[in-house]
Amino acid sequence: MTDTTPAWGSPEDDDAVTTERVVRPGADDVERAAEAALRPRRLDEFVGQRVVRDQLSLVLEAALGRGRAPDHVLLSGPPGLGKTTLAMIIAAEIGRPLRVTSGPAIQHAGDLAAVLSSLDEGEVLFLDEIHRLARPAEELLYVAMEDFRVDVVVGKGAGASAIPLALPPFTVVGATTRAGLLPAPLRDRFGFTGHLDFYATDELEQVLVRSAGLLGVELRADAAAEIATRSRGTPRIANRLLRRVRDWAQVRGDGRLDLAAARAALEVYEVDALGLDRLDRGVLRALCTRFGGGPVGLTTLAVAVGEEPETVETVAEPFLVREGLMGRTPRGRVAMPAAWEHLGLTPPAPSGTLFG
């Protein structure tokens, strides 16, 4: 990869920060492009996460002052809170290129060695879902992060030998939604660890106002508040709902993004006042009406709603538990009083029955 960025600590333009995406699984191209257009480019544009922003600012300013690559950075937290955006901001703030890959894409140590050996001095390597790295790749990454070298194995069997290959200084930014799965030796090699928390409603309103300006639409304050309260504390969801409200206002409304448009659009897309979508309500309704509020096993509950257990556990359950609508017990999942109230149902008398 050719390095066309300016020297350390010198002024640079955002366009000087190049991005090479090695692998980007998942997301639809149109949605991904829309999300990318709304991403902040600098720390001072990034809304929320005040503690992480302040700490990261110190790390980057100190590195620039010394003329060296910043320490490796680990960002943890639920999806959609800005881990990828912060990785891009880190590269932009220090004026270096960004290389992006992900844990599932690194199946062998050789895959990682190829990426590392092609890095230029000071480059930022973003490893998304770093907890899903294969074990041989993890062990290679330990040495690369600490000693800036990789050992290239030549030959096979008894005649094999390892040739150390020196690497230029670089910065690894790892992102994970499950920090507990990272082995301790890997966690210890990160000089800075930041945990991203869910956003408050007023912070999401700021995100929405900024995004509306970038989209070239006028967002009324009451509409911003309505969207923010249904966004589950997550900027990615807030921006997605904003685009859907804009679509509704353009096609079925008068083009204005006001409270009426926001409520009508979110009703079309089945997002209720708490931010629950079709899957969330399906899980709650099955738990309450089919299993009397539980306890019920995860697999049984997933079959009842026609989803995979992993989908229920990773997509619906975290938010339902956080909002006090569902509980996890040693005997299974249970509906909390707030779930019955939200669905307009009356909880039955306790029976002690266990399902699944």
Residue list for the binding site for Mg(2+) = 84
Q: Is 128 a catalytic residue?
A: yes
- Known binding site for ATP: residues? 38-39, 80, 83-85, 146-148, 189, 199, 236
Catalytic residue among 111, 128, 258, 280: 128
Reported as a single tens digit per residue, the pLDDT across 300-341 is: 999 998 989 888 888 888 889 988 999 999 899 999 999 999
pLDDT over 60 at 21, yes or no: no
The answer to whether 329 is a known catalytic residue is no
- Mean pLDDT on 266-294: 91
Task: Report CA-CA distances (Å) from 8 to 4, 5, 192, 345.
Answer: 12, 9, 20, 62
Q: What is the CATH number of domain 14-195?
A: 3.40.50.300
Binding site residue list for DNA = 328, 333
Taking each continuous run of H as one helix and of E as one strand, the counts in the chain are 15, 10
Phi, psi of 113, deg, nearest 5: -60, -40
Task: Please check the confidence at residue 254 and state whether its pLDDT lies above 90.
Answer: no
Catalytic-role residue among 5, 176, 177, 234: 177
- Torsional sign, CA 24, 29, 33, 39: negative
158 against 25, higher pLDDT: 158
How high is the pLDDT of residue 172? 93
Provide the pLDDT for residue 162: 66
Please enumerate, by residue number, every residue annotated as part of a binding site.
Answer: 38-39, 80, 83-85, 146-148, 189, 199, 236, 328, 333
Q: Taking 80 as the threshold, does the pLDDT of residue 216 lie above it?
A: yes
Tens-place pLDDT, residues 160-192: 666 778 888 999 999 998 888 888 888 888 999
Mean pLDDT, all residues of the chain: 84
Rama region for 91: left / alpha / beta (φ>0; ψ in -120 to 50; rest): alpha
How confident is the model over 62-73, as a mean pLDDT?
91
51: CB partners within 8 A, 6+ apart: none
Structure tokens at 182: 């990272």
Catalytic residue flag (residue 156): no
Helix axes 235-251, 221-229, angle to 10 degrees: 130
Question: Which one from 53, 83, 240, 281 is the annotated catalytic residue?
Answer: 83
Provide the 3-class DSSP secondary structure of residue 171: strand
- Binned at pLDDT 50, 70 and 90, residue 11 comes out as very low
Domain with CATH 1.10.10.10 in the chain: 278-343
Q: Boundaries of CATH 1.10.8.60 in the chain?
A: 201-268
Choose the catalytic residue: 5, 53, 84, 281.
Answer: 84
- Angstrom distance (rounded) from CA 7 to CA 202: 39
Q: Which residue has the higher pLDDT, 6 or 178?
A: 178
- Pick the catalytic residue: 53, 232, 236, 281? 236
Active site residue 177: yes
What is the predicted pLDDT for the residue at 4? 43
What residue type is assigned to position 239 of the chain? N
Q: Regarding beta strands 124-128 and 98-102, do their DSSP bridges make them parallel or antiparallel, or are they unpaired?
A: parallel
Q: Which of 73, 89, 318, 50 is nearest to 197 (CA)?
A: 50
**CATH architecture label of 278-343:** Orthogonal Bundle (1.10)
- pLDDT beyond 70 at 156: no
**CATH architecture for the domain at 201-268:** Orthogonal Bundle (1.10)
Under the banding of pLDDT at 50, 70 and 90, the label for residue 10 is very low
Please report, for residues 40, 103, 154, the alpha-carbon distance to residue 216 in angstroms, rounded to integers and kept in the order given: 16, 36, 56
Q: Does 171 qualify as catalytic in the annotation?
A: no
Q: Does the pLDDT of residue 229 top 80, yes or no?
A: yes
Which amino acid would we find at residue 198? F
